[in-house]
Amino acid sequence: MKKAILSLGLMAFAGSVITLQSCNKVKDAVLKNINPFDFSMQSFVVNVDPTPSGLDSLNTGAVSTKINLQDSINKYVPSGLSLSLNDVKEVRLKTVTVSPESGFTGGSTGNNFTNISDVAAMFNSNVGASAGLQNIGQWLNIPQSSEREMQPIVFDYTSNPVNLKNYFSTSGETEIRYFLRGKLRRAVTAPLQVRVTVQYTIVP
């Protein structure tokens, strides 16, 4: 009798393993047919304060915004398929665009993007900070020219992908933090506001 019960138990276990393997094979097959997709075009305002006397650097306060990565994933997967953050290969930073919002004035003595010689838009999250992960950012040089005074600054990561998967929570919301760092060509003499727009790409 014990042998019969044991045999039935092994058969049930084997059946569950086969079912799990079949489900995984189906999921893997579906994932191969899902192309990388963009999501969550976040947009928020960062304040740039006048430069304190004697400083030649730009350091804005961090702006926090929340994102639910699972909700974004669910919008792009086929109906009936359960896909979590653990199932995807990468969550890439695609572009970060910094545009004039308010307070900008033209000219070589005005307050605009040419006040800055070099700038970076830095990324982290509550998950990344808790895990001791470093800030992510890309530095760009801004030439001294009238064309660049009001021209949006675009940090493009498509040719140099950065995987942010470990910066996101596998369930619920993640608090994303952005701030600007830079070296000034001349002091900012009046309050400015810039709009930061962020786009990500998920690679299944």
Same domain as 27, residue 61: no
Looking at the fold, whether 22 and 93 belong to one and the same domain comes out as: no
**Residue 98 and residue 67 share a domain:** yes
Please give the DSSP secondary-structure letter assigned to residue 163: B
Residues 22 and 86 in one domain: no
Residue of 74, 75, 92 lying closest to 83 (CA atoms)? 74
Which residue do the tokens 């070589």 mark?
Answer: 108
- Per-residue DSSP letter, 152: P
Number of Cβ within 10 Å of residue 11's Cβ equals 10
Q: Are 58 and 116 in contact (CB under 8 A)?
A: yes
pLDDT at 193 over 80: yes
Best-predicted range by mean pLDDT among 19-23, 26-30, 53-57, 169-173?
53-57
Q: What percent of the chain has pLDDT over 90?
A: 61
pTM value is: 0.80
Residues 61 and 114 in one domain: yes
Per residue in 82-124, pLDDT tens? 778 888 899 999 999 999 999 999 999 999 999 999 999 999 9
pLDDT tens digits, residue range 130-184? Answer: 999 999 999 999 999 999 999 999 999 999 999 999 999 988 899 999 999 999 9
Compute the distance between CA of residue 82 and CA of residue 33 in angstroms, rounded to an integer: 15
Cα–Cα distance between 15 and 19 in angstroms, integer? 6
Residue 92's domain spans which residues? 36-203
Residue 72, beta-bridge partner list: none
21 SS3 class: helix
Query: Looking at the predicted structure, is the pLDDT value of residue 18 above 80?
Result: no
Answer yes or no: are the C-beta atoms of 182 and 118 closer than 8 Å.
yes
Q: Which two tokens stand for residue 170?
A: 């596998």
Q: What's the count of helices (H) and strands (E) in the chain, helices before strands?
A: 3, 9
DSSP state for residue 108 in the 8-state scheme: T
Question: Can you read off the two tokens belonging to residue 140?
Answer: 């760009």
Q: What is the pLDDT of residue 83?
A: 76
Question: Domains in the chain: how many in total?
Answer: 2
Pair 6, 86 in one domain: no
Percentage of the chain modeled with pLDDT above 70: 80
24 with 94, same domain: the answer is: no
Which of 32-41, 121-130, 164-173 is the least confident region? 32-41
User: Both 22 and 111 in a single domain?
Assistant: no
Whether 80 and 22 share a structural domain = no
Query: Is the same domain home to 9 and 46?
Result: no
Considering the chain, what is the average pLDDT of its residues? 84
| Judgement on whether residues 22 and 122 belong to the same structural domain of the protein | no
pLDDT of 32 strictly over 60: no
Same domain, 153 and 179: yes
